[in-house]
Each structure stands twice: as structure tokens, then as C-alpha cells.
Homo-oligomer: A and B are copies of this chain.
């Protein structure tokens, strides 16, 4: 029954460090500043403080970027779990659409208790993905593994199922929703244009030509070609 160990500011830093760090490399001051919409100078100050807190939340060396310590990662996953459960809850119980929930969850994630978190999870049947298909960290704060590929990596004749759309741009989300390109949907690649990287996909009876701005944000599970 600890509750309220870090501030909203700290939680947002950790969350974004977690995301930026997914590629294996430390997060740069500049990238973090852009994501957080905070000036780089301020970011330096904050991560220096995070790095020398009693249990350090962050590993940091000048000019080398930041990464999370085990405690920092735990705290980050806690916030991410809050965020994704909240988004799921808002969509499922209050009729939000997937392009409307992010800002709301962004604020709520910092103030809900562990008790509320558990009640929401239970009420939703302990969901494993949020409305965008993002994986929800478990109660024990483990991030499940996922085996998806960016749609942009597929080529003609491959079949796949959309699992996740990693975008926050509300207009893009609305657009994809209008096209029916949402998690769970099955599609087939029918054409690839090597110069602009456009992919033509067949989805139900419809065909769409999608640029790489879109195809790099849609993550799919490839369906094993049953022909050999």
C-alpha cells in the first residue's frame, strides 16, 4: 500500500524514456525533449535529478543519453499499464473512439490508485491490448512479448492480420478507422512500388494504396503462407 511515489512529471519522463529506449539504445536529450514538449535544457536538469535519486530511476552519463534502471522500468510500466487500461476503459464503457482517448488517459494515468487500476482491469476482463492494439503490461508489470512486423516490410502475396497501430495523430487514427484498418482485420498485399514504397493492400473487397508514412505505423502478424 505505498501509493504516489513519483510525480506526473517524473512519470511522463520515465514513460517516454521507456518508449525511446525500445530500440536498445539510450534515449537522447533532444528526442526526449521533443516527445515531452519540454526544452532540452530542462530535460538535462530533470534526468540528472532522476539519475541521482535514492533508488536511481535512470542511468545517465553526460552526452550519452538516458536509459532506465530496473526500478525506473517498473515505474514506467506502471504508468503505461495505467494509460492503456484507461484508454480501453474509456472506449469500452463510455463510447470514446480510439482517436479521442489519448489526451484523457495522459492525465488520468498519474492519479488513479492501484485499487482503481485493479478494478478497471477486472471489469474489462484483464485485457491484454488497448484500443490501438498496444500490449498492456501485466499486473506484475511484465510487458508481454509480441511478434509483429511493420506492414511496410510485407510484399505482394503475403497475408497478415493487423495487430497494432502505433500512432497518436488523431487525424490519422480517424482515417484508418474510416478505412477499416483496425486491429483484428485481415489483409493481403497485392502490389509494391519500390520507388515510393507504396503498398497496395486488399482488405475485404477493398483495395488501398498506402504510403510508408502509414505502413510503418501498422504492425501485423504475418499469416503463414500455407503454400510451400
Chain A residues with a Cβ under 8 A of chain B: 90, 93-96, 100, 103-104, 107-108, 110-113, 115-116, 119-120, 123
Contacts and interface: CB of A to CB of B under 8 A. Distances in A.
A76 to B, nearest CB: 20
B103 A119 contact: no
B96 A107 contact: no
A-B pairs with lowest CB-CB distance, top 6: A107-B111, A94-B119, A104-B116, A111-B111, A104-B113, A108-B111
A112 B120 contact: no
Nearest to A101: B116
Contacts of A116: 90, 94, 104
Given A94-B116, A95-B119, A107-B112, 5 more contacts: A90-B116, A94-B123, A96-B119, A104-B116, A108-B108
A113 B119 contact: no
A113 B103 contact: yes
A117 to B, nearest CB: 11
19 contacts: A90-B116, A93-B93, A93-B123, A94-B116, A94-B119, A94-B120, A95-B119, A96-B119, A100-B115, A104-B112, A104-B113, A104-B115, A104-B116, A107-B111, A107-B112, A108-B111, A108-B112, A110-B111, A111-B111
Contacts of A119: 94-96
A198 B224 CA distance: 78
Contacts of A111: 107-108, 110-111
Contacts of A115: 100, 104
A10 to B, nearest CB: 16
A44 B116 CA distance: 35
A104 B93 CA distance: 19
Contacts of A100: 115
A56 B95 CA distance: 37
Contacts of A94: 116, 119-120, 123
